[in-house]
Structure 1
């Protein structure tokens, strides 16, 4: 199974330009024979939207979604966007396949500390769902979602095989660590506990003086980083996944088989 991560920079508030870039990366992934391409959090709009969210949010039945759905006839697509639904606004991600929107995840945990103001402008989603794709049982988290154990419990309980994390994570460091090391440690841990692949798609570039570090990566079910993208540059990261690794991981660390209470009803 060949997948791609489109680690891109975005233009704040310009959905048309961002869509053109996303479609360009989709075309490249199709040419490389990929079956899935993943883009970062709010890739269609840029991150620091504030009041712009009311101008750039798109609806599920709009032209932008239709354009991407048409391209998903050739490759599965996961992409972050600002969503308008029934007069409310969400930090969302859609998964498209076979010409249709298969699933939309609304970010559950909206950060409101430090530089983050998401809770001021977005409504929060209320569920973490797992859905079927040709990649197997698939779950999408958006950035802050991944820092909450409850999110991973849902993925674990639903026997997720592919965990997709879309992020717009800004860069920081101190004398002990770099920001991406935190993401790597978290993803390695949950890949092993869930016996699943983890795709971390992070944006890059600068926006309102904030730098987004990139360093997107893919982790196998044994907790090994298969491949990682570059720092602060755009890249189409292409990785081959061997789904037999899931079975190997379950044999080596058979945690799921002892969770009978999740599978027995009543």
Structure 2
């Protein structure tokens, strides 16, 4: 049984484009003399379609596309995902077709409702057949979460089948591919048949789909793996236990690829081709610029330098060196004059209230003038502004609303500061793109004389470990403190995490790379009275 796993990149809502993807894969499967073609979950709509599913016009177009694909099916059995409305109930379905006829329809049974998944809002759980006979084969079908539900898997394991297909829209997070393959191995062994897992690629708002489609034989041996983060047709002969296994990238390479793909697809799929980035000479803006160049091309990236009286000479020279290394266009917009004008405008009112002493207000004025200038350039040129804040800063609110948080997309939103340093080293592994001094110097916002991030925050290695323990691992404060962290520091960090929620709600979307990204994965109220304390 020769199967093509079509690892394609559907676009949410673009049903005509997605239909062409499916029809093109069908032709390639016929040309390769395949017995079967398997495509991802909801390939006709892209994932997640969200409330588009509630629009009647949207569902009519889906139905027309399904009919077109079935009519065009030939010898190779095509298995593809789409939503299906039946008597008022909406199902997440997989249709099987061959020789211009419908073979069968499977409706997803296990509907995930956690993290980025919200399927109970839309879909009804299926209860019909999950094994279909065609061309003398018994084809078992499941969709994504069906594979992860142990109780469901056990309830259907004894049914005779010749192959198990699982159609997916499984988003990337660190180590996710290892989890998928370990699970598929268990299912193949338990079901006693070859198992095929098909996943899409591409960025969709915060989510990145990383592909990694693969197949196991009945004993759980990996037969084939598609490349991660790129479209591919992968052929596997499950009867002959024959296929090609593409090596899995290391962890840092996966983060790198996810960020590049997320930036590329968010920018391009929202009708933009060019971006701009405020370049401070620091690690975060340098990293975002390098990622943008890889995603879009150097000719599409504009760097904007906005020095102030507090900008060090090395920050300006580091930003200029980055511009040269990346080969991007740049402009310089010094902010001293507009900052002075705003300070003068506010001085009389502040003095009247007895508030003339400089504080964080004056620091934020600088950040907001930079945000204003960047957005003005964005408006005038049509470039999307990429913000440069990282997860460590967003967690504790070390960012300025309507200042450095202004923009359309935040590539590093789910990347901790310590990961940003490691990623910069990774990007420089073949050639120095990010200046060494940018990586090695102490981080600073440079909004007051001799300012360092360490004036306001603990060392990033300490901060990130506390945050990861609390956010990703779900550990309580007592558990974190018991590992040797000073109790007052733990309480302070977690307090900052909670009170910064209002800022995060107003932040642009960014690429998800962890299991607990701010936004879809981690949902806390802005206004609430709970505070966790150490005894």
TM-score, with structure 2 as normaliser = 0.43
- 5 Å matches for 1:94-173? 94-127=95-128, 129-134=130-135, 136-173=137-174
Q: Residue 263 of structure 2 aligns with which residue?
A: none
Q: Give the helix-richer structure, 1 or 2.
A: 2
Q: Residue 57 of structure 1 aligns with which residue?
A: 59
Offset of residue 12 of structure 1: 0.6
Q: Structure 2: state its 5+ residue gaps.
A: 243-535
Q: Residue 262 of structure 1 aligns with which residue?
A: none
- Distance in 1 separating the partners of 2:204 and 2:241: 40
Counterpart selection for 2:200 from 194, 203, 211: 203
Secondary structure of the residue that 2:157 maps to in structure 1? helix
Is the contact made by 1:172 and 1:179 (CA closer than 8 Å) also made in structure 2? Answer: yes
RMSD over aligned CA atoms reads: 1.9
TM-score, with structure 1 as normaliser = 0.85
Is the contact made by 1:36 and 1:76 (CA closer than 8 Å) also made in structure 2? Answer: yes
Higher RCO (CA 8 Å, separation ≥ 6 residues): 1
Offset of residue 153 of structure 1: 2.5
Q: Residue 29 of structure 2 aligns with which residue?
A: 29
Q: Residue 8 of structure 1 aligns with which residue?
A: 8
- Distance in 2 separating the partners of 1:179 and 1:114: 14
- Distance in 2 separating the partners of 1:94 and 1:196: 21
Is the contact made by 1:164 and 1:198 (CA closer than 8 Å) also made in structure 2? Answer: yes
Offset of residue 235 of structure 1: 0.5
User: Alpha-carbon deviations, 1:85-143, whole Å to 9, x = none?
Assistant: 11221111111122211111111111111111111111221245222123622211111
Q: Give the strand-richer structure, 1 or 2.
A: 1
- Distance in 1 separating the partners of 2:164 and 2:111: 19
Q: How many residues align?
A: 240
Matched, 1:90 2:91: yes
Offset of residue 22 of structure 1: 1.1
Offset of residue 180 of structure 1: 1.1
Is the contact made by 2:26 and 2:73 (CA closer than 8 Å) also made in structure 1? Answer: no
- Distance in 1 separating the partners of 2:38 and 2:173: 24
Change (3 A) 1:243 1:134: farther
Higher mean C-alpha displacement, 117-126 vs 154-163: 154-163
Change (3 A) 1:151 1:128: farther
Offset of residue 244 of structure 1: 9.0
- Distance in 1 separating the partners of 2:45 and 2:136: 27
Matched, 1:81 2:79: no
Q: Residue 219 of structure 1 aligns with which residue?
A: 216
Q: Structure 1: state its 5+ residue gaps.
A: 246-266
- Distance in 1 separating the partners of 2:2 and 2:169: 24
Counterpart selection for 1:192 from 180, 189, 194: 189
